Amino acid sequence: MDDVVALCPRVIVIDKGRIIYDGDLRALVKQMHPDKLVSFSLTGPVAQDQLTRLGRVVEHEAGRVVLCVPHDDLHSVVAHALSELRASDLTIEDPPLEDIMRQLFRGGMNDNGDGDGDGEGEGEGDGEGHTAGTDASSDTKGTATDTGNDERSRRPG
Same domain membership, residue 84 and residue 121: no
Q: Which residue has the higher pLDDT, 116 or 38?
A: 38
pLDDT tens digit sequence for 101-136: 888 888 756 444 444 433 333 333 334 444 444 333
Same domain membership, residue 41 and residue 13: no
Is 59 inside any structural domain? Answer: yes
Which helix H or strand E contains 56, and what residues bound it? strand 56-61
Q: Are 9 and 2 in contact (CB under 8 A)?
A: no
Neighbours of 143 (CB within 10 A): 20
Is 78 inside any structural domain? Answer: yes
Q: What is the pLDDT of residue 131?
A: 42
Q: What is the pLDDT of residue 98?
A: 86
Q: What is the pLDDT of residue 117?
A: 39
Same domain membership, residue 50 and residue 88: yes
CATH number at residue 57: 3.30.70
Same domain membership, residue 89 and residue 53: yes
Same domain membership, residue 87 and residue 115: no
Same domain membership, residue 82 and residue 110: no
Q: What is the pLDDT of residue 87?
A: 93
With pLDDT > 70 as the criterion, what percentage of the chain qualifies? Answer: 67
In terms of residue numbers, what domain contains 25? 2-33+96-147
Q: Which residue has the higher pLDDT, 3 or 98?
A: 98
Is 23 inside any structural domain? Answer: yes
Is 20 inside any structural domain? Answer: yes
Q: What is the pLDDT of residue 150?
A: 41
Rounded mean pLDDT, 60-78: 95
pTM above 0.75, yes or no: no
Same domain membership, residue 29 and residue 48: no
Long-range contacts of 104-108 (CB under 8 A, 24+ apart): 104/13, 104/15, 104/20, 104/21, 104/28, 104/32, 104/143, 105/15, 105/130, 105/145, 108/15, 108/20
Is 154 inside any structural domain? Answer: no
Domain count, the chain: 2
Asked whether residue 90 carries a pLDDT value surpassing 50, the answer given is yes
Is 153 inside any structural domain? Answer: no
Is 130 inside any structural domain? Answer: yes
Q: What is the pLDDT of residue 7?
A: 86
Is 14 inside any structural domain? Answer: yes
